[in-house]
C-alpha cells in the first residue's frame, strides 16, 4: 500500500486525494491519500504531524500552505529544484530518510509547454512571491524567461526572491505596487501566484486595464478554474496556462516520485479527472 497524504491548512476541499486515488486505480497500484492538518502554522506543529505520519508508515506526503519553506528544514536530501526555490511541496519517505522535491517547479514547466509549446516566456511580471511564487519564478527560466519582475505586498519576501534569482545567474528586479501597471505593459507574460481570485478570496490581483499587449498569462489559483484573472487575459487575446494545469501536472510528478512508476496515457487521465471536477472550464 502506498500511503500518501497532504499536510496543510484549510485543505478540506483539496482535490489531491481524488487525483492520487484515480492515478492509483488507473495504474493498478494500491493507494490511500489522507489530509493532514497540523495544530497550527508553526514549524513545530508541522514537524509533529510529519513525525506522526512517519510512525504510521506513510510513503510520502505533499505539502501546501503555509509549510512549503518549512518542509525543507526536515529533509535529509533535497533535489536541485528545492535548492533553487527554497521550498518543497513533495516529501518522499524512504528507508528512514526524507527526500524533498518541488513538483510545483516541474509541474509548471509541463503545464506551460502543454499550453503554449515552444513560445519563450520572455519578460514576466510575477505577482506573489510565496512558496508557489518562488517555484514558478525559477521554473520560468526553464521555459525561456529573460527577466522576472516581482511584486508582492510582502516587500521582504519579494526582495528575497529577486535576490535568489539574481544569485542563481538569472535576471530579476523588484516592482513596487505603484509601478505594477507600467511593469505589466513591459511584460510578455503575466503570472498570479497570490490567493486573490480563489473562491474564498475573490477579486483581481491586477487591474483589467493592464491586460494588453502581452503574449500569455498564468494563474496559480484553480478553484475556480476560470478566475477573473484568466478571463481578463483571455479577453485580451493572451494564451492561457491555468492553475488546473499546475495542479494536475504537479500531482502527476508527485505520484511518480511516490510510487516509482511512470504514469502512462496522461491525456485520458486528464479528461477523466476534468469530468469529475465540479466546474467545467470554458478556457482550458
Give 192-243 pLDDT, tens digit per residue: 999 999 888 999 999 999 999 999 999 999 888 889 999 999 999 999 999 9
**Exposed, middle or buried: residue 276 (CB in 10 Å: 0-12, 13-18, 19+)?**
exposed
pLDDT of residue 23: 94
Question: How many CA atoms are closer than 13 Å to the CA of 184, on its beta-carbon side?
Answer: 21
- Measured between alpha carbons, how far is 111 from 191 in angstroms, rounded to an integer? 14
Per-residue b/e over 151-160, b at no fewer than 16 CB within 10 Å? bbeeeebbbb
Per-residue b/e over 18-42, b at no fewer than 16 CB within 10 Å? ebbebbbeebebebebeebebeeee
pLDDT of residue 34: 98
Write out pLDDT tens, residues 160-202: 999 999 999 999 999 999 999 999 999 999 999 999 998 889 9
pLDDT of residue 281: 62
- Measured between alpha carbons, how far is 176 from 121 in angstroms, rounded to an integer? 22
pLDDT of residue 199: 84
* Beta strand 31-36 pairing with 77-78: unpaired
Residues forming beta bridges with residue 60, ordered by sequence position: 4, 92
Residue 269's pLDDT band (cuts 50, 70, 90): confident
pLDDT at 98 over 70: yes
Rg (CA), the chain: 18
pTM attached to this predicted model: 0.92
The residues, ordered by sequence, that sit 6+ positions from 76 with a Cβ below 8 Å of its Cβ are 97, 98, 99
- Measured between alpha carbons, how far is 190 from 256 in angstroms, rounded to an integer? 30
For residue 212, which phi and psi values (nearest 5 degrees)? -170, 125
Active-site residue list: 67
pLDDT of residue 230: 96
Element (H, E) at 164: helix 155-167
Mean pLDDT to the nearest integer, 87-104:
96
pLDDT of residue 277: 65
Amino acid at each position: 500500500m502506498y500511503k500518501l497524504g497532504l499536510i496543510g491548512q484549510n485543505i478540506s476541499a483539496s482535490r489531491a486525494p481524488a487525483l492520487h486515488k484515480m492515478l492509483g486505480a488507473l495504474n493498478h497500484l494500491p493507494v490511500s491519500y489522507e489530509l493532514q492538518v497540523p495544530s497550527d502554522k508553526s514549524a513545530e506543529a508541522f514537524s509533529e504531524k510529519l513525525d506522526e505520519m512517519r510512525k504510521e508508515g506513510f510513503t510520502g506526503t505533499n505539502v501546501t500552505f503555509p509549510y512549503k519553506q518549512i518542509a525543507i528544514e526536515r529533509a535529509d536530501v533535497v533535489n536541485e529544484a528545492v535548492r533553487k526555490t527554497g521550498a518543497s511541496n513533495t516529501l518522499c519517505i524512504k528507508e528512514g530518510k526524507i527526500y524533498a522535491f518541488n513538483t510545483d517547479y516541474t509541474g509548471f514547466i509541463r503545464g506551460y509547454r502543454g499550453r503554449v509549446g515552444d513560445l519563450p516566456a520572455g519578460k514576466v511580471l510575477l505577482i506573489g512571491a510565496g512558496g508557489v511564487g518562488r517555484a514558478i519564478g525559477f521554473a520560468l527560466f526553464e521555459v525561456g524567461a529573460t527577466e522576472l519582475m516581482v511584486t508582492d505586498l510582502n516587500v521582504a519576501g519579494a526582495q528575497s526572491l529577486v535576490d535568489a534569482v539574481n544569485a542563481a545567474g538569472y535576471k530579476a528586479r523588484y516592482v513596487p505596487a505603484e509601478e505594477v501597471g507600467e511593469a505589466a505593459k513591459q511584460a510578455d507574460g503575466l503570472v498570479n501566484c497570490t490567493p486573490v481570485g480563489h473562491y474564498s478570496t475573490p477579486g483581481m490581483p491586477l487591474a483589467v486595464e493592464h491586460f494588453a499587449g502581452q503574449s500569455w498569462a498564468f494563474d496559480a489559483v484553480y478553484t475556480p478554474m476560470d478566475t477573473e484573472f484568466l478571463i481578463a487575459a483571455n479577453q485580451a487575446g493572451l494564451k492561457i496556462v491555468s492553475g488546473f494545469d499546475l495542479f494536475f501536472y504537479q500531482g502527476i510528478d508527485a505520484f511518480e516520485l511516490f510510487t516509482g512508476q511512470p504514469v502512462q496515457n496522461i491525456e485520458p487521465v486528464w479528461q477523466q479527472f476534468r469530468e469529475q471536477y465540479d466546474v467545467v472550464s470554458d478556457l482550458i
